[in-house]
């Protein structure tokens, strides 16, 4: 959608919301009493959260480490998409393997649970496509460790939970524009307010268009979001919302740069090097709708019904490069030895998620306790198709030196080798969670979730049949040591179905993630900041690992079979201080340090030690002036790429790709010109550090060099 059309919509909504009849007729109590997800995090300290229990308790009272990136931090450091947000925390490693496909990990495990307003399903193939625009969201919460009681199936790493923006009672009008390096142009509007005593609305529009430091790569993203809530009375609220997000990229990477020559020496390309064809593209169109109904059954009990609908349509034409002969590898003298690989890939997925629960408090044994009971149903269906060109020669062209490649390779005819899949997944759950007040300062947070995961269909000629169920427990204790300090411990689980089969051709039982955590949470600086210090121990149980080969009882053909074994485990510590650190200083300081056992390769390429600092300082000499710094340090990582072949003098030598330790520094400065107008400047990677984004795959590409942006924000 052209931005001119977005602007017209914004002006129309603005004219409606600024009618004088609304300014003095809002009865705040009629709506605010039952707003269940409208908390604003204007500073850096996390407050109440539902991400771990749906009880709405304080982050300090939750027996798991929780990080929150709120609206203030998003604005301070111009975090326009989710990758930017997560790159500004020590909680999550962002594995940017390609330009438009991203993996996340935490505590040594893949993060595959991303929820929106508390609902979500495990990511297909554990990755996201395109960019998630932050204009739609107020904040991002990250609960670390297993979170199966709230997510059902998933990984024991962490859960990322995004909260959509909701309507406000007070009129709010915000327009911003950003211009930056590589011809970046971003426009955003956010208009919210009450239309009548019982009806509120909000409209968010954004367009983000940019070239890139990478040759041939560019992106263009448009977002439209509208949401209404209606209060039937002081106890009942219904909210409707819908968003359309279109993300188009050209010259996108599929795979990335070969990182070593045949003799094992490391390649060192220019930072802008791109292996994509000039016709490469990846278009992601996403439609999201939701209904959220809340009703106060009594002063102590609430009913909530939620439905989320997601439809995603992806179309891509991709170009990959691979070693023509793995023994020869990339010729260290000529740089030759790569073949191109073209493919058209399309995927459509449909997600429907329902959740219903009651929550409230009750008295027993002379004390007040809290309870949540609910059930949910979710379905994820997807169809994907891959096509190739085997007949013209354009589908697998011989590549020149990467340094000489300009993307000028003939466009293939994508009509060959039709393959793909059609898969249906359903998750049915019932859950119960309670927080018992055992004694003064001592609380037990416990619960369980019955979860059934069913899959049917076929993917790339392999059946995808699963039917697993499991009861997932949750157990946590918090104890108030002093008014400021709370100690906690917890044991949590999650599980994932597995498609591998054993020697008897039975499906391997689900993979279970078991997480133990002990820590303290403490109020600092008169309660303006929260300290979290945690020790954790996570284990994978029942991981399917290759065992042997056995004849398929249907086809008679020998295939790989598997056995159940212990998987990866990780142990470590995390530390975070978030909030107002002094009268003039706000921010977050986070540290992560852990070790991985069970897989040397995963341990080698995973960032296990990192420090992230995001601070903003408001000098007292001039009102409205602020300075900020975001600094992230991560340890050195490496990847074993195999051994040098017999064709070279150093045959048998291990090929190791190293990424030395990295310190990335971003700076910001902003000035409130008046109460309506603000100017901001952001400088990223100011030391111009050259480093690889990830070593999770055998290929990789470089992170952006030094770049800048300037933003003008008008608010009413």
Mean pLDDT of the chain: 90
- The larger pLDDT score, comparing residue 78 to residue 560, is at 78
Res. 558: pLDDT tops 90 = no
Q: What stretches of 533-608 show up as alpha helix (H) in DSSP? A: 600-605
Mean pLDDT of the region 532-548 = 87
Higher pLDDT, 558 or 359: 359
Does the pLDDT at position 106 exceed 90?
yes
Mean pLDDT of 628-649: 96
Q: What domains appear along the chain, each with residue ranges and CATH number?
A: 3-715 (2.40.170.20)
pTM of the model: 0.90
> pLDDT for 118-134, tens place per residue?
898 888 888 999 989 99
E-assigned strands of 45-171? 48-49, 57-58, 66-69, 93-96, 101-106, 109-110, 113-116, 128-129, 137-144, 158-164
Average pLDDT of 379-396?
A: 96
Contact 82, 104 (CB under 8 A): no
Q: What is the pLDDT of residues 312-369, one digit of tens each?
A: 999 999 999 999 999 999 999 999 999 999 999 999 999 999 999 999 999 999 999 9
Are 496 and 511 spatial neighbours (Cβ–Cβ below 8 Å)?
yes
- Residue 30 pLDDT greater than 50, yes or no: no
What pLDDT does residue 686 have? Answer: 97
Mean pLDDT, rounded, for 634-639: 97
Average pLDDT score over residue span 69-80: 94
* CA gap 586, 580 in Å, rounded: 4
Mean pLDDT on 484-490: 97
More confident residue, 289 or 35: 289
- 10 Å CB burial of residue 461 (0-12, 13-18, 19+) is exposed
Which pLDDT does position 487 carry in this prediction?
98
Residue 206 banded pLDDT, cuts 50, 70, 90: very high
Residue range 34-43: average pLDDT? 42
Q: Tell me, what's the pLDDT at 560? A: 79
Three-state DSSP at 82 gives helix
User: Using one digit for the tens of pLDDT, what is the confidence trace for 255-302?
Assistant: 999 999 999 999 999 999 999 999 999 999 999 999 999 999 999 999
- Ranked by mean pLDDT, the top range of 3-17, 457-471, 674-688 is 674-688
Instruction: Provide the 10 A C-beta neighbour count for residue 20.
Output: 7
Which of the four pLDDT bands, split at 50, 70 and 90, describes residue 2? very low
Q: What is the DSSP letter of 618?
A: -
């Amino acid at each position: 959608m052209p931005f001119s059309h977005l602007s017209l919509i914004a002006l129309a909504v603005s004219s409606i919301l600024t009618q004088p009849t609304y300014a003095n007729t809002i009865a705040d109590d009629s709506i605010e009493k039952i707003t269940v997800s409208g908390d604003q995090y204007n500073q850096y300290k996390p407050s109440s959260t539902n991400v771990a229990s749906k009880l709405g308790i304080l982050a300090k009272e939750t027996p798991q480490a929780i990080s929150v990136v709120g609206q203030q931090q998003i604005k301070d450091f111009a975090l326009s998409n989710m990758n930017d947000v997560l790159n500004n925390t020590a909680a999550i490693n962002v594995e940017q393997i390609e330009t438009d496909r991203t993996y996340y990990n935490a505590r040594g495990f893949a993060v595959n649970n991303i929820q929106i307003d508390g609902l979500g399903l495990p990511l297909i193939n554990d990755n996201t496509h395109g960019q998630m625009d932050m204009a739609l969201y107020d904040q991002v919460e990250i609960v670390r460790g297993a979170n199966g009681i709230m997510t059902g199936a998933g990984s024991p790493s962490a859960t990322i939970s995004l909260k959509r923006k909701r309507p406000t009672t007070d009129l709010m009008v915000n327009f911003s524009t950003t211009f930056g390096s590589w011809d970046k142009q971003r426009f955003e509007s956010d208009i919210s307010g009450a239309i009548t005593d019982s009806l509120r609305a909000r409209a968010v529009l954004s367009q983000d268009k940019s070239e890139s430091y990478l040759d041939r790569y560019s992106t263009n993203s448009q977002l439209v979001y509208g949401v209404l809530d209606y209060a039937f009375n002081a106890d009942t609220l219904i909210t409707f919302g819908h968003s359309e997000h279109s993300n188009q990229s050209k010259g996108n990477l599929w795979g990335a740069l070969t990182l070593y020559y045949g003799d094992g020496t490391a390649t060192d390309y220019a930072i802008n090097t791109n292996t994509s064809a000039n016709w490469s593209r990846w278009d992601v169109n996403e439609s999201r709708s939701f209904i959220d109904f809340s009703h106060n059954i009594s002063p102590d009990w609430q009913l909530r019904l939620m439905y989320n609908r997601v439809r995603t349509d992806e179309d891509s034409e991709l170009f990959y490069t691979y070693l023509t002969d793995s023994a020869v590898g990339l010729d260290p003298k000529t740089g030759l030895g790569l073949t191109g690989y073209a493919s058209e890939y399309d995927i459509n997925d449909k997600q429907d998620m329902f959740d219903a629960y009651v929550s409230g408090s009750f008295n027993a044994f002379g004390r007040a306790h809290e309870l949540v009971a609910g059930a949910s149903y979710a379905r994820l269906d997807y169809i994907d198709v891959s096509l190739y060109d085997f007949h013209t020669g354009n589908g697998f062209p011989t590549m020149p030196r990467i340094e000489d490649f300009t993307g000028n390779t003939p466009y293939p005819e994508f009509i060959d080798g039709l393959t793909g899949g059609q898969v249906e997944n359903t998750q049915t759950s019932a859950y119960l969670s309670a927080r018992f007040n055992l004694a003064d300062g001592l609380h037990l947070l416990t619960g369980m979730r019955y979860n059934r995961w069913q899959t049917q269909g076929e993917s790339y000629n392999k059946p995808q049949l699963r039917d697993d169920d499991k009861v997932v427990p949750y157990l946590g204790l918090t104890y108030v040591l002093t008014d400021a300090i709370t100690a906690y411990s917890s044991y949590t689980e999650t599980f994932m179905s597995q498609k591998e089969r054993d020697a008897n051709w039975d499906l391997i039982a689900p993979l279970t993630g078991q997480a133990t955590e002990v820590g303290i949470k403490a109020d600092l600086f008169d309660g303006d900041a929260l300290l979290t210090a945690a020790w954790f121990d996570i284990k994978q149980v029942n991981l399917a690992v290759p065992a042997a080969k056995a004849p398929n009882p249907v086809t008679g053909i020998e295939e790989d079979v598997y056995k159940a074994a212990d998987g990866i485990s990780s142990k470590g510590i995390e530390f975070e201080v978030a909030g107002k650190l002094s009268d003039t200083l706000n921010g977050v300081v986070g540290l992560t340090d852990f070790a991985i056992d069970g897989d040397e390769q995963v341990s080698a390429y995973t960032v296990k030690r990192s420090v992230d600092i995001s601070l903003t300082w408001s000098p007292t000499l001039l009102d409205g002036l602020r300075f900020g710094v975001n600094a992230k340090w991560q340890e050195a990582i490496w990847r074993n790429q195999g051994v040098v072949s017999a064709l070279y003098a150093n045959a048998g030598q291990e090929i190791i790709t190293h990424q030395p330790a990295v310190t990335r520094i971003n700076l910001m400065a902003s000035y409130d010109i008046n109460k309506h107008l603000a100017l901001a400047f952001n400088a990223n990677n100011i030391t111009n550090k050259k480093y690889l984004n990830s070593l999770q795959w055998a290929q990789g590409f470089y992170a952006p060099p030094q770049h800048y942006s300037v933003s003008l924000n008008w608010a009413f």
